[in-house]
Amino acid sequence: MSKSYTIGAASFAADALAPGLYLVATPIGNLGDITIRGLQTLAAADQVLCEDTRTTAKLFARYALKRPLAPYHEHNAAKTRPEILKRLEAGAAIALVSDAGTPLVSDPGYKLVREAIAKGIAVTSIPGPSAVITGLILSGFPSGRFLFLGFLPQKQGERTKLLAEFAATQTTLIAFESPHRIAATLKDIAEILPGRDVAVARELTKLHEEVLRGNPARIEEQLSARSAIKGEITLLIAPPDETLPTVAAGDLKAEIEAALKIQSPSKAATEIAKRHGLGKSEVYGMILAMKDGA
């Protein structure tokens, strides 16, 4: 197989790689986001390990890359890792890619890198696209410090426990979430992290890229009104901000009193909390206190 790549009508020969493991970032959507160094590395590698060979094959077809592909994912990693390490120790140059973005960021590869380092094998990063960083700079939230939570738990109990654990963290929080669970997660955020805005970054770098910013309850209502929610989602939660405007206590009390004339306490608490970005339990506690004459 030739060690070359094509950009448009121009073809380029790739220089030989030194032995070692190469971690190559690939596009998160737009195939034009691959770096020149990334193409050179993939074109020269003895083998390219990927989560799904069908996904990586699309990138290879775009740039006429012709190197051997082999699957490396969470289901076969333990079985295939020893042989990969043997090849690396023998002097092979092997590249590792994920389906999209930077390898090891919520993707397979951590144990392979760790064991390669332990064996004295050279490990090189070829930086490039990352949904975490792309979402962060589009969110409008503070970017000097941030905390990446990975994929949020599927079960609500585990998810709310995790969110509560980081409620006091004074940084922007970033997570990956499924389009099937994003509405439920936004409800949890409105309840557990009241007063904190979110940014829902969907289909980043793709044709239908969208970033929704603001109150999580309002964004949840907007998304729930759609017939379907599609695409990969990077979810960002703004850090606590004491300067956020809050509703005056007297106004909130009057609003509660008016709502209780036509709604149950639970429903009134839910709607008022959504309206002002407060926690439902906080508003419900006020309702109980008002009933007790406090």
Determine the pLDDT at residue 248. Answer: 65
User: Has residue 276 got a pLDDT over 80?
Assistant: no
The alpha carbon torsion through 219, 220, 225, 228 (nearest 10 deg) reads 100
Q: Mean pLDDT across the stretch 112-137? A: 97
How far, in whole angstroms, is CA 35 from its chain's centroid?
21
Determine the pLDDT at residue 242. Answer: 40
Q: Mean pLDDT across the stretch 133-159? A: 96
Q: What is the pLDDT of residues 166-203, one digit of tens each?
A: 998 999 999 999 999 999 999 999 999 988 999 999 99
What is the second-level CATH architecture of the domain 132-237? 2-Layer Sandwich (3.30)
| Token pair belonging to 166 | 């980081």
Measure the CA–CA gap between 133 and 34, rounded to whole angstroms.
Answer: 15
Measure the CA–CA gap between 177 and 106, rounded to whole angstroms.
Answer: 12
Measure the CA–CA gap between 290 and 294, rounded to whole angstroms.
Answer: 6
Q: Mean pLDDT across the stretch 261-278? A: 82
3-state secondary structure of 7: strand
Measure the CA–CA gap between 38 and 41, rounded to whole angstroms.
Answer: 5
Measure the CA–CA gap between 19 and 186, rounded to whole angstroms.
Answer: 46
Q: Mean pLDDT across the stretch 233-250? A: 73
Is residue 196 within 8 A of residue 238, CB to CB? The reply is yes
Looking at per-residue confidence, does 36 or 289 come out higher?
A: 36
Determine the pLDDT at residue 243. Answer: 38
Determine the pLDDT at residue 152. Answer: 96
Q: How big is the chain, counted in residues?
A: 294
Q: CA angle, corner 155, sides to 152 and 157, nearest 5?
A: 100
Task: List the chain domain ranges.
Answer: 4-129, 132-237, 249-291
Q: What percent of the chain has pLDDT over 70?
A: 96
Is residue 128 within 8 A of residue 23, CB to CB? The reply is no
Is residue 24 within 8 A of residue 17, CB to CB? The reply is no
3-state secondary structure of 239: coil
Alpha helix positions (H), 100-230: 110-118, 131-139, 156-165, 182-192, 216-224
Mean pLDDT of the chain: 92
Alpha helix positions (H), 45-181: 53-62, 77-89, 110-118, 131-139, 156-165
pLDDT tier at 291 (50, 70, 90 boundaries)? confident
pLDDT tier at 57 (50, 70, 90 boundaries)? very high
The alpha carbon torsion through 185, 187, 189, 194 (nearest 10 deg) reads 170
pLDDT tier at 108 (50, 70, 90 boundaries)? confident
Is residue 22 within 8 A of residue 12, CB to CB? The reply is no
State in words which class domain 4-129 has: alpha beta
Looking at per-residue confidence, does 42 or 244 come out higher?
A: 42
For 73, residues 6+ apart whose C-beta sits below 8 A from its C-beta are 51, 52, 108
User: Has residue 43 got a pLDDT over 90?
Assistant: yes
Measure the CA–CA gap between 229 and 17, rounded to whole angstroms.
Answer: 43
Measure the CA–CA gap between 218 and 200, rounded to whole angstroms.
Answer: 12
